[in-house]
Amino acid sequence: MANQRQRVKNNDNSKKAIIDVLAVVKKYFPSLFRRFNAGPEADPRNTSYITYCMGLLLLMVFMKYIMSIVSMNEMSAFFENSVSIQNLHYLSGSVKFEKIPCFKTVNNFLERLDPAFLETIRHDIIYELIRSKRISFGRYKNMWMIVIDGTQTYGGNTPINAHCLRKVHNRGKDDETTTYSRCVLEAKLWLVGTNIVISIASEFILNDPNQTENDTRSAEKQKQDCELAAFYRLAEKLKKRFKRLPICIICDSLYVNQKLMDICKNYGWDYIIRYKDGSASSIRDYIKVAEEGNDLTTVEEKGSKYSFYCGVPYYKHVLNYVRAKICENGKVTEFQWITNLDMSKSRVIKFAEVARGRWKIENQGFQRQKRCEKVLEHLSSWNDTALKNHYLMIQIADIFRILYEYEYLTQNDIVQTFKQIATNLYLGFSTLILAEQEIVKAMCFWKKTEAGSKEKAV
């Protein structure tokens, strides 16, 4: 009997996970649901034919990704119950409805919505997080660490639209094949000392079909979009949106080039770039001479060896070179970096620790969304604009879910799998009437006017 009571208690606590997520939204960006319901000026649809407000449609997609619901069909099936309908109505601020919109209605809306709308919301969320100083503990030397890397969101033998990148295998042979992919270059804000990695900006790596039509060369000779070209666009976007933000870029050896360093210098950014011997031969040759002259400064700690050399010339830039031979579990792994940050014996160990954080974007970023939440590589639409909006909503939802996990689970030493978290959120949203929960009403996402209609919350 005692065990049964304990299970009931744990079940009730599990249901309240959705309330904790809403508390995180209220704490960090209370205007989120109001921003979803922006009104006619942002809604691309003809007002004469609108049945469901845009706030409801975007809230459905947001909740879909908060709860790691993979497919659009599954989303429609999940929300098709009286409690979920009441909760969607309460949080979206929409007029009452008896039946939820079909997933085709949601996708048709996303096909017409300008992705800049969701990009602006994400920017404002990050801006508010930084401005509130609630995450200032995650800086390194008063700088925000921005990890840059690309990932594939679709790959297959069929092009889903004209924007796909293409790659020919076994060219000129009998078994020649062509594969198609969609990729995105992501800039994620990493809070040093934690596993918190959240999206701050995205740049889609896609071919321009208009440019392809005007290009008279054969398909294999036509120039395609690439990760480096996407970075130059992404850097411009970052600087425009965060003009005064002190940034340190962390990226892999692909970015060892003069243009990136020129951009960082012009924008006032610092950078940490993973270095490999084949990345830039002039740097390798310079370090080889320095090693022969025993000019590298070395620090040892706990079996690990850290070496650095300051003043490596590379075109118009002067770089610092760092090499770390890390000993973990009896295995020694070597890492190399180039940076414009000042280096000394007292700084090199902490620097190496931070520089290795580049893997956070892969492990706590892409792999989380691909393997654990299983939403990043699922095609919720074949339309290019809709796919962009789905991707951006995944990133927005993930910001609040990561903050929820950090505040309510990690900080309280509670260990749950991704499936358990998703199940708890799923259970709470479909069984708890949020409008009847005093703690949710106190959050005041919306307030009543004298006329009884819902008004924007402050």
Answer whether residue 377 is part of any domain.
no
Q: Clarify whether residues 98 and 178 are in a common domain.
A: no
Q: Clarify whether residues 98 and 144 are in a common domain.
A: no
Residue 317, H or E segment: strand 317-328
Domain end (from 372, 395, 422)? 372
Q: Clarify whether residues 73 and 203 are in a common domain.
A: no
Confidence at 390, pLDDT banded by 50, 70, 90: very high
pLDDT for 15 = 79
User: Which CATH number characterizes residue 351's domain?
Assistant: 3.90.350.10
pLDDT for 13 = 65
pLDDT for 170 = 85
Answer whether residue 169 is part of any domain.
yes
Over residues 89-107, mean pLDDT: 88
Domain end (from 372, 406, 421)? 372
Report whether pLDDT(221) > 90: no
Task: Report the distance separating Cα 131 and Cα 137, nearest Å.
Answer: 13
Q: Clarify whether residues 186 and 98 are in a common domain.
A: no
Give whole-number Cα distances, 330 to 176, 282, 355, 385, in Å.
Answer: 45, 33, 21, 49
At 299, which amino acid appears?
A: V
Task: Collapse the DSSP code of 150 into the 3-class scheme (helix H, G, I; strand E, B; otherwise coil) and give the result.
Answer: strand
Tally of domains within the chain: 2
Q: Clarify whether residues 353 and 221 are in a common domain.
A: yes
Residue 153, H or E segment: strand 144-156
Q: Clarify whether residues 448 and 366 are in a common domain.
A: no
Q: What is the pLDDT of residues 323-342, one digit of tens each?
A: 999 988 888 999 999 999 99
Domain end (from 320, 340, 372)? 372
Task: Report the distance separating Cα 55 and Cα 63, nearest Å.
Answer: 12
Task: Collapse the DSSP code of 99 into the 3-class scheme (helix H, G, I; strand E, B; otherwise coil) and give the result.
Answer: coil
Q: What is the pLDDT of residues 179-220, one digit of tens each?
A: 999 999 999 999 999 989 999 999 999 998 776 545 544 555
Tokens 């020694």 identify what position? 332
Task: Report the distance separating Cα 24 and Cα 166, nearest Å.
Answer: 41
Tokens of 256: 């060892």
* Count of beta carbons in the 10 Å neighbourhood of residue 367: 14
Least confident of 152-156, 258-262, 450-454: 450-454
The counts of H helices and E strands in the chain are: 18, 12
Task: Report the distance separating Cα 229 and Cα 9, nearest Å.
Answer: 54
Rounded mean pLDDT of the chain?
Answer: 87
Q: Clarify whether residues 409 and 312 are in a common domain.
A: no
Full residue range of the structural domain in which residue 102 is found? 2-113+383-456
Among 273, 169, 182, which Cα is nearest to 225's? 182
Q: What is the pLDDT of residues 230-268, one digit of tens each?
A: 999 999 999 999 999 999 999 999 999 999 999 999 999
Tokens of 78: 């999940």
Among 125, 105, 111, 19, which Cα is nearest to 60's? 105
Q: Clarify whether residues 126 and 266 are in a common domain.
A: yes
Comparing 376 with 143, the larger pLDDT belongs to 143
Q: Clarify whether residues 337 and 189 are in a common domain.
A: yes
Answer whether residue 227 is part of any domain.
yes
- pTM for the whole structure: 0.90
pLDDT for 334 = 93
Q: Clarify whether residues 121 and 270 are in a common domain.
A: yes
Q: Clarify whether residues 232 and 328 are in a common domain.
A: yes
Q: Clarify whether residues 146 and 13 are in a common domain.
A: no
Task: Report the distance separating Cα 381 and Cα 41, nearest Å.
Answer: 25
